[in-house]
Structures are given as structure tokens and as C-alpha cells.
Chains A and B, each alone.
Chain A
Amino acid sequence: KAGVTQTPRYLIKTRGQQVTLSCSPISGHRSVSWYQQTPGQGLQFLFEYFSETQRNKGNFPGRFSGRQFSNSRSEMNVSTLELGDSALYLCASSLNSQETQYFGPGTRLLVL
């Protein structure tokens, strides 16, 4: 099976812009979770989607949002970008969120 894929892999934006990141899960996986990874902060949970429904949300401002499509692909959107949003954004897929999660390669976002 093909692994989890994420696009784009790298992105440079300026403050105030918005960005959309995409994640394609492993075929058959219905759960997609998103994480923000920054040096020193580890992996911080953003949100989890299962069958097009957001089931859990981490402690991030409303500028961070996401959605999941009927084919389980997921997108996350960050509006009004801030310098502090610069990070590696990882998605992970699993059969359901209670099973092993497999990570994508991540999208590295740099906000200038």
C-alpha cells in the first residue's frame, strides 16, 4: 500500500496570508490527525477527522481549521498567518484513531 502523502512539501508565506495543506491517507484508513511540530515543543495535536467529522480538536486558535472529504483525504487551513506558525505540519492516518497512526512526510511552512 502507498503511504501517507502530503502536499506541498515546502511552503513560504508572509504574515497575514492564508495557507491550505493537503493530506492523503493510506487507502482504507478513515482517520486523519494533524500535528504541528516545532523545535522544543514536540508534536502538538491540532485536530482529528473520521468519516468527514471532526472528532477532536487541540488547543489551537480558530485560525487553524480543517476538513475531510468523502475519500478520507484531509485539508487543513491556517488563516492570517503569524511568524509563530512556522513549523512542520504532519498528518497521520489510521484505520480509526484508536489504532496505530502512520505519518506523512510533512509540510514545512515558513512564515516571513
Chain B
Amino acid sequence: GENVEQHPSTLSVQEGDSAVIKCTYSDSASNYFPWYKQELGKRPQLIIDIRSNVGEKKDQRIAVTLNKTAKHFSLHITETQPEDSAVYFCAALDTSGYSTLTFGKGTMLLVSP
């Protein structure tokens, strides 16, 4: 089955800095990669996703890059703000069958004012 590794497990940055979270996956058939943000006591919420037919996707201060050859994808947050503080989860899925979404173990991002 799929295995997703996520690094780092914790990340502390100063407000205004950039933050990068990296994930690797094992199943070359995976072709859908969502990122979720979970604030303390809240549900995970989708913030951005990418499919394997593109290498990069941006949404304002958030971007995701995908390297299919190396089987890794990354989340980039620019101009971080205190409200970006949360746990971020990456995930991978092979949409061709009935496989399930496999999550990384999460990265706790702390943005200090």
C-alpha cells in the first residue's frame, strides 16, 4: 500500500518568513495530492491540492509543487502570518481504483509575531 512520509514534524518561523513542508510517497500510481490544515480543536480543512498532470499550483500565499520522478511534493507558504499556525497534513491517492487517501503524520507550524 501507499506510504507517505512528511517532514519536518515541527516548524517554527517568524512572521513574514516562508515555510516549506515536504512529503514523499511510495506508490508511483498515486496521482492526487491534497494538503489539509487543522487548527487546534478544529476539523482538517483542504487548503490546496494538485494532480499529477501539473507540476505546480498556487493560491495566493500558498503553493504546492510536485516531482513525480522523485515522488515528492511540497507545500510552500510565503509571508507567513500568526493565523497560519496549525498542523498541516499532506496526503496521496491513486484515483484509478478504489484505494484510500493516505496521510502523512503532520507538521506543526508555529508562526511567531
Spell out A's residues near B (CB within 8 Å). Answer: 4, 33, 35, 40-43, 45, 48, 55-56, 58, 90, 97-98, 100-106
Interface residue total, chain B, C-beta cutoff 8 A: 21
Residues of the B chain whose Cβ atoms lie less than 8 Å from the Cβ of A35: 103
| Interchain CB contact (< 8 A) of A42 among B32, B42, B98, B103 | B103
Contact status B99-A106, CB under 8 Å: no
Cross-chain contact A103 with B43 (CB below 8 angstroms): yes
Q: Mark B36-50, 1 if CB is under 8 A from A, else 0.
A: 100000111110010
CB of B65 closer than 8 Å to a CB of A: no
Q: Which 8 A-B pairs have the closest CB atoms?
A: A42-B105, A98-B95, A43-B103, A103-B43, A103-B44, A56-B100, A105-B43, A55-B98
User: How far does the Cβ of B62 sit from chain A's closest Cβ, in whole Å?
Assistant: 16
Partner-A contacts on B (CB < 8 A): 32, 34, 36, 42-46, 49, 89, 93, 95, 98-106
Q: Which residue of A lies closest to B32 (CB)?
A: A98
Contact status of A33 and B34, CB under 8 A, knowing A100-B49, A103-B43, A103-B44: no
